[in-house]
């Protein structure tokens, strides 16, 4: 058996195969029968569905009209589908037996019964709908007959009696109930799950055909009894006594509000009747007037108050229903629907009778509920963007709300509390509607901007109540949370609530005379301060696109894991832009600044003993040039301790407090004569002075300036001379500084980048993103108005020094012990009402920004001679204050208290740091041209000293360049220390590249053969293509004039000699690459490309840049003296702040002409100038300053721009191509970040040492070494120094060149010379044996022992003037 299984049983296999064939044939037969049966059933099903579809088409409209019937029909259809599903589930795969066939028959009969039941349900719905429609039509006819009879009876009684007929309350109740029955039918819904019946509220949106009926009901039934003083005739009193009556009262009140806030839907053609046409517009206007009367009576807004009996109950009921102290849930209240949807059966009918909510939905979505919050044609239609009918509806509701809030002011404590909540609701719900002032006429909200007596306008009260309601949100800068409405989104309304509120508040405030400053005598200072503090808080959280110059301002909306951009509405942004209009800003600040009250001139002219001492110190310096002072300062050694406690803070505190005490004492005394009569501080007519300059008659004296000032015209600001109604308060000026200061900090281009770079957390980045990265044009226009049309600069600086509150705030800003928060985190979120909060930071930001903007158009004559914009002693005070501020920001913040390092930066603090840095750099640069103060006033002692000592490698030194003090305010560090840092950076880099003898790793250099007669040509051939390799060591082999190699070996000395000669030849003006000013200062020749050709000229300038870079890299001081305008390019951050002053150095006549135009008092158009400039490059050619400049005339309005463009063209544009090529070559050798440590005069000292080239013999003697037997007391050494002292400066320079190959001393003095200046003894028998010789590689003078001082001088002069190579012995 086991064997058979292994071998396989063929008989058994054949039997199994036959059985499988029989089973397969049987299944195929059964499947064929099943297919025939399914085909038969399919045909029957199609016939039945066709029959059912025809019945659905007949009753389709009835299903839509009757929701309960639709629910039943749906249930029947579901039952049919369930039966069909059950049938499909029981379909057999085998032939049906008798039981299965019986079940199939029962299923078919059940389907038929279900279809019949569904048809009956549909027919029942249709019949019920027809019946209900007929009943309502009958009731309408009955109502019309009764109403006509009542109107006729009223007319008859009116003719026979003067007393107006008042219908009985019973009649009113019956007809009101009848109207509600057919106009607002109650819906009946059946719960499909349990079969319960539910009654729903009827629709409170009337049909147009019922509008006239409702109008007649209100006018002839409700209104007479409500206005009548007889309580027995009041139709509402009986209603409060029963549940049905109270429901009827609620329905009537809801319908009253709905008839105003909602447009009536079109009437449908009733079954068996035709709709009658009527005058909807006339009925609507009549209805609005009637509803307004009723609501005013019920809310007790009329003189004849609705009082007595149960009317108090009705009044409370009406107030609780129509005026809610808290906002409803907008997510359940209303959602806008598509205009194509069936309005009658939408959630649009779920109406809440709240006046504020109804007004909001009306303004947002219109009376039909489908309008867009911002109409597409709003920018074109403007005030007509909303239909006239809808405007009338909005006017009624707005006036009702405002009047009701006003009448609550004289109520009890609870009424005043509710008044505050309603004011908050009005601000957060109504004033956040976009284009509110266009959608509502002025008359309804005119009472908001009208003040009675000394009271502030109600608008300010609304703002105060809003601040009190949302105290925490306002204080923390989270106003957007308080305005978070859920009824609209940015995708529906492309204007956030904060932006809408800001625009509406600005628009309303612009129409308020007690706020906008148009009439100074009407200005309410305290109210205006509260208003602008609120505006400032809104500006702080407004979208960045609010005042952006971009064509499309985009706001990003988060959709969970992703964000999508939404383009903000331009028309809403346009409304907010009124806040920056020139006339608005000018009138506000002219009213806010009262120099007589602030005693501005007295504070500005006041000089303390410290001021006098600083002036004396400056006088002692005399006419010394700034460059020579820098060179002298570089050679002075300072060995003082680093940072002695908080000495600077104590000194500054004493300085400011003493100024405040003096100001306080002066305020107590009687004011002196008004300095404004003398003309001080006013704009002066300098036309005559400009003519003197143009005619070349010298500079302006102080006496002439004073005379001109005394005879100048008064300020262009003209305000009302009538006596003001309100007492002046500086809080108004503080509020303006807060509001406009936030605009400057957010859109001024300074509040985004964290210059200090202490925080890199993402938490800080979100705050920084609230500021613009570039200066917006609106801020430039704002600063133009502030700086040139108001006296904000002097007034704000006077307040900073005299106001105790501001002084206290500034202590917290500059003193790290009093204000622990870093300056970069400064904010002013806590301003509410008349409380200014921390106003010191905002006021300082406004002052510094305006000072920076004013300095851009102030030349040196105005600054020093005319003392504009501030007297020089006040400028020095400003320097002291900003120096301490910057020192704290870059050196103490986040270091003094490490726990604060995680705090996010704020745009206000960042802008204050950035603008202060710009002003200080500008003043420092101006002081480098002509001293404003003694150099030590800029310096913080011993700054960076310990940091430099800790550095060991090139990487350590260069890391200091990234420190905040080196990037933001390098002038705080002494020039000597910055020179030392530069020298260490260059030296360590040179050692890394070239190696050194000390470390025994000196690398092989690049060999260069140079003929002494072809220094420039050979240098250009061998070195011009080295590029970055110029940093490598270069070994020079001199070829004599006879063609033989000189015997000298270059260990550094020959290279220095070669480079000194090369630089002297390369920068020779005779090559036409450079031009010189009247002071013999060099700058690129604009015509060089015409002389040498374009490409060759650029190559030459690149080569010259490499020459200068290599000289700086090797520590070689060279001869060329460069003009200030050219040195500005070398640093790589040209600021364009001194264009006019630079222009005066290269073209005095053009400068005088531009100054004449600047102060020309006539019409500039009479001069016939256009925006073109003439270039004299081998022939006169005309060039446009701006596109189509030849067609644009210079006028008084654009002459400042013309002056700026002309100066920029001559100072920058004409030499930019050459300067860029020069800088490319320079920066290949010297990194530009290394040069940004210095300003222009300091950079010149770095290049060529002291400007006059005179050698300090005492410094040279003190730092010299003696070898070969010489000592300091040797008589030959004494003779040598006596001879050197008697030499001319030229001979001294030749001596230094003879010994060191450089004719100028190092910038840091002879103490920094490496190797040091050395005198070596050379013994001789006779005076004629040898001449003095030198080893320039080691800075060694080989001085023979001459017999007398006379011989020594003759031999020494002969040696240094022979200019021989190595042949001289």
Output the CA–CA distances (angstroms, integers) from residue 704 to 684, 688, 866, in the order listed. Answer: 12, 10, 10
3-state class of 897 per DSSP?
coil
Distance (Å) of CA 743 to CA 779, 795, 917: 7, 20, 19
564 forms beta bridges with: 557
Bond prior to 869 in cis (omega within 30° of 0): yes
The catalytic residue among 385, 512, 1302, 1337 is: 1337
Q: How many residues does the chain have?
A: 1369
| Among 451, 439, 755, 719, CA closest to 589 | 719
Alpha carbon distance 185, 1116 (integer Å) = 102
Residue 20 burial class via C-beta count within 10 angstroms: exposed 0-12, middle 13-18, buried 19 and up: exposed
Residue 686: what are its φ and ψ, rounded to 5°?
Answer: -105, 20
CB 394 within 8 A of CB 405: no
- DSSP per-residue codes, 770-795: TS-SS--HHHHHHHHHHHHHS-HHHH
3 state SS for 711-731:
CCCCCCCCCCCCCCCCCCCHH
Q: Give SS3 for 1304.
A: coil
Does residue 770 have a cis bond before it (omega within 30 degrees)? no
Please name the residue that has the structure tokens 């007393």.
Answer: 163
User: At residue 200, what are phi and psi to the nearest 5 degrees?
Assistant: -110, 160
First and final C-alpha spacing in the chain: 131
Cα–Cα distance for residue pair 797/876, rounded to 1 Å = 12
Note if 1337 is an active site residue. Answer: yes
Instruction: For residue 742, give the nearest of 933, 536, 889, 575 by alpha carbon.
Output: 536
CB 1206 within 8 A of CB 1199: no
List Cβ<8 Å contacts ≥24 apart for 683-689: 683/712, 683/713, 683/715, 683/716, 684/708, 684/709, 684/712, 684/866, 685/711, 685/712, 685/713, 685/1159, 685/1161, 686/1159, 687/1156, 687/1159, 687/1160, 687/1161, 689/1159
- Partners of residue 1319 on adjacent β-strands: 1266, 1341
Are 547 and 747 spatial neighbours (Cβ–Cβ below 8 Å)? yes
| Residue 537 · residue 481 · CB < 8 Å | no
Return the bridge partners of 557, or none: 564
Distance between CA atoms of residues 653 and 651, nearest Å:
5
H or E segment at 1084? strand 1082-1084
* Nearest-angstrom CA–CA distance, 599 and 1023: 66
Nearest Cα residue to 1250 out of 1317, 1316, 1310, 1306: 1306
Distance CA 1307, CA 970 (A): 18
Residue 675 has a CB neighbour count (10 Å cut-off) of 17
266: left (phi over 0), alpha (psi -120 to 50) or beta: beta
Residue 197 near residue 188 (C-beta atoms within 8 A): yes
Q: Residues with catalytic annotation? A: 1337
């Amino acid at each position: 058996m086991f064997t058979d299984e292994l071998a396989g049983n063929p008989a058994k296999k054949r039997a199994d195969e036959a059985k499988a064939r029989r089973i397969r044939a049987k299944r195929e037969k059964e499947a064929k029968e099943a297919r025939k049966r399914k085909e038969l059933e399919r045909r029957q099903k199609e016939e039945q569905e066709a029959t059912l579809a025809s019945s659905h088409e007949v009753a389709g409209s009835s299903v839509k009209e009757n929701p309960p019937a639709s629910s039943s029909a749906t249930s029947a259809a579901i039952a049919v589908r369930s039966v069909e599903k059950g049938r499909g589930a029981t379909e057999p795969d085998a032939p049906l037996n008798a039981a299965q066939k019986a079940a199939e028959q029962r299923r078919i009969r059940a389907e038929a019964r279900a279809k019949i039941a569904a048809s009956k349900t549909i027919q029942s719905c249709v019949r019920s709908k027809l019946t209900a429609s007929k009943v309502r039509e009958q009731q309408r006819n009955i109502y019309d007959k009764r109403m006509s009879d009542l109107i006729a009876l009223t007319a008859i009684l009116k003719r026979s009696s003067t007393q107006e007929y008042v219908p009985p309350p019973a009649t009113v109740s019956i007809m009101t109930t009848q109207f509600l029955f057919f106009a607002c039918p109650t819906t009946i819904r059946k719960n499909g799950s349990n079969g319960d019946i539910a009654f729903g509220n009827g629709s409170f949106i009337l049909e147009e055909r019922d509008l006239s009926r409702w109008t007649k009901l209100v006018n002839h039934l409700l209104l007479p009894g409500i206005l009548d003083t007889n309580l027995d005739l009041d139709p509402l009193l009986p209603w409060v006594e029963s549940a049905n009556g109270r429901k009827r009262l609620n329905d009537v009140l809801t319908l009253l509000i709905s008839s105003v806030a909602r447009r009536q839907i079109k009437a449908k053609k009733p079954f068996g009747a035709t709709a009658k046409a009527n005058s909807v517009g006339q009925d609507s206007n009549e209805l609005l007037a009637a509803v307004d009367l009723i609501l005013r009576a019920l809310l007790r807004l009329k003189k004849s108050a609705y009082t007595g009996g149960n009317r108090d109950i009705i009044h409370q009921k009406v107030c609780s229903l129509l005026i809610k102290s808290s906002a409803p849930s907008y997510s359940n209240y209303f959602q806008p629907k598509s205009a194509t949807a069936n309005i009658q059966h939408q959630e649009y009918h779920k109406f809440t009778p709240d006046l504020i909510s109804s007004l909001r939905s009306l303004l947002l979505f219109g009376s039909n509920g489908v309008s867009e919050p911002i109409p597409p044609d709003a920018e074109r239609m403007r005030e007509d963007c909303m239909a006239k009918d809808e405007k009338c509806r909005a006017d009624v509701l707005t006036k009702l709300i405002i009047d009701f809030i006003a009448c609550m002011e004289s109520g009890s404590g609870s009424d005043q509390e509710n008044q505050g909540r309603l004011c908050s609701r009005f601000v957060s719900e109504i004033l956040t509607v976009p284009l509110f002032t266009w959608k509502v006429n002025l008359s309804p909200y005119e009472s908001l901007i009208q003040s009675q007596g000394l009271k502030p306008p109600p608008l300010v009260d609304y703002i105060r109540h809003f601040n009190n309601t949302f105290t925490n949100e306002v204080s923390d800068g989270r106003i957007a949370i308080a305005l978070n409405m859920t009824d609209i989104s940015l995708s529906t309304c492309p204007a956030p609530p904060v932006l809408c509120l800001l625009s509406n508040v600005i628009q309303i405030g612009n129409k308020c005379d007690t706020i906008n400053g148009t009439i100074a005598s009407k200005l309410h200072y305290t109210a205006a301060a509260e208003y602008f503090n609120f505006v400032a808080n809104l500006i702080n959280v407004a979208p960045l696109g609010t005042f952006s110059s971009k064509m499309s301002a985009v706001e990003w909306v988060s959709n969970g894991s992703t964000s999508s951009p939404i383009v903000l509405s331009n028309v809403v942004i346009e409304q907010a832009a009124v806040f920056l209009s020139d006339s608005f800003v000018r009138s506000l600040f002219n009213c806010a600044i009262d120099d007589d009250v602030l005693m501005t001139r007295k504070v500005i002219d006041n000089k303390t003993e410290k001021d006098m001492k600083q002036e004396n110190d400056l006088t002692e310096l005399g006419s010394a040039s700034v460059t020579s002072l820098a060179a002298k300062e570089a050679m002075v050694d300072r060995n003082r301790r680093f940072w002695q406690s908080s000495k600077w803070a104590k000194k500054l505190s004493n300085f400011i407090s003493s100024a405040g005490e003096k100001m306080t004492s002066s305020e107590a005394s009687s004011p002196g004569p008004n300095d404004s009569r003398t003309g001080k501080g006013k704009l002066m007519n300098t036309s005559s002075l400009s003519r003197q300059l143009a005619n070349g008659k010298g500079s302006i004296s102080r006496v002439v300036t004073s005379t001109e000032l005394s005879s100048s015209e008064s300020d262009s600001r003209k305000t009302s001379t009538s006596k003001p109604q309100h007492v002046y308060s500086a809080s108004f000026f503080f509020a303006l500084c807060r509001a406009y200061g936030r605009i400057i900090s957010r859109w001024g281009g300074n509040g985004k980048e964290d210059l200090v770079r202490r925080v890199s957390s993402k938490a800080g980045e979100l705050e920084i993103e609230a500021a613009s990265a570039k200066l917006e044009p609106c801020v430039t226009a704002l600063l133009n108005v502030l700086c040139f049309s108001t006296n904000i600069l002097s007034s704000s600086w006077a307040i900073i020094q005299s106001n105790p509150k501001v002084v206290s705030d500034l202590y917290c800003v500059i003193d790290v012990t009093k204000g622990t928060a870093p300056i970069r985190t400064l904010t002013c979120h806590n301003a509410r009402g008349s409380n200014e909060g921390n106003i010191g930071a905002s006021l300082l930001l406004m002052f510094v920004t305006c000072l920076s903007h004013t300095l851009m158009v102030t030349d040196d004559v105005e600054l020093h001679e005319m003392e504009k914009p501030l007297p020089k002693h006040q400028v020095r005070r400003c320097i002291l204050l900003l120096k301490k501020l910057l020192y704290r920001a870059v050196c103490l913040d986040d270091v003094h208290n490490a726990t604060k390092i995680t705090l996010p930066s704020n745009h206000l603090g960042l802008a204050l740091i950035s603008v202060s840095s710009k002003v200080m750099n500008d003043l420092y640069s101006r002081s480098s041209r002509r001293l404003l103060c003694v150099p030590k006033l800029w310096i913080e002692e011993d700054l960076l000293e310990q940091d430099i000592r800790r550095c060991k490698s090139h990487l350590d030194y260069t890391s200091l360049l990234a420190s905040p003090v080196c990037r933001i305010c390098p002038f705080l560090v002494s020039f000597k220390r910055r020179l030392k840092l530069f020298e260490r950076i260059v030296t360590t880099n040179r050692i890394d590249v070239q190696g050194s003898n000390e470390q025994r790793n000196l690398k092989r250099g690049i060999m260069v053969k140079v003929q002494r007669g072809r220094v420039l040509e050979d240098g250009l051939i061998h070195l011009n293509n080295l590029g970055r390799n110029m940093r490598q060591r270069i070994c020079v082999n001199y070829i004599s004039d006879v063609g033989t190699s000189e015997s000298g070996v270059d260990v550094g000395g020959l290279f220095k000699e070669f480079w000194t000669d090369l630089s002297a030849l390369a920068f020779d003006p005779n090559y036409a690459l450079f031009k010189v000013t009247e002071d013999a200062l060099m700058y690129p020749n604009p015509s060089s490309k015409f002389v040498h050709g374009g490409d060759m000229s650029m190559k030459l300038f690149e080569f010259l840049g490499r020459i200068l870079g290599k000289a700086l890299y090797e520590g070689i001081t060279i001869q060329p003296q460069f003009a200030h305008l050219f040195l500005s390019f070398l640093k790589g951050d040209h600021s364009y702040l001194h264009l006019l002053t630079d222009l005066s150095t290269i073209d005095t006549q053009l400068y005088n002409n531009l100054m004449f135009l600047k102060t020309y008092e006539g019409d500039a158009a009479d001069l016939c100038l256009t925006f073109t400039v003439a270039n004299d490059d081998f022939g006169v050619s005309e060039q446009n300053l701006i596109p189509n400049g030849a067609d644009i005339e210079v006028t008084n309005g654009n002459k400042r721009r013309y002056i700026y463009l002309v100066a920029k063209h001559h100072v920058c544009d004409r030499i930019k191509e050459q300067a860029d090529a020069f800088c490319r070559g320079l920066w290949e050798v010297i990194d530009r970040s290394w040069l940004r440590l210095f300003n222009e005069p300091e950079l010149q000292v770095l290049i060529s040492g002291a400007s006059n080239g005179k050698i300090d013999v005492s410094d040279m003697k003190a730092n010299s070494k003696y070898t070969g037997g010489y000592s300091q007391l040797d008589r030959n050494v004494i003779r040598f120094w006596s001879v050197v002292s008697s030499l001319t400066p030229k001979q001294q320079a030749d001596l230094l060149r003879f010994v060191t190959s450089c004719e100028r001393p190092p910038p840091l003095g002879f103490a920094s010379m490496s190797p040091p200046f050395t005198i070596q003894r050379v013994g001789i028998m006779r005076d004629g044996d040898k001449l003095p010789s030198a080893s320039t590689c080691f800075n060694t003078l080989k001085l023979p022992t001459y017999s007398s001082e006379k011989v020594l001088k003759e031999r020494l002069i002969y040696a240094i003037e022979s200019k021989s190579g190595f042949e001289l012995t």
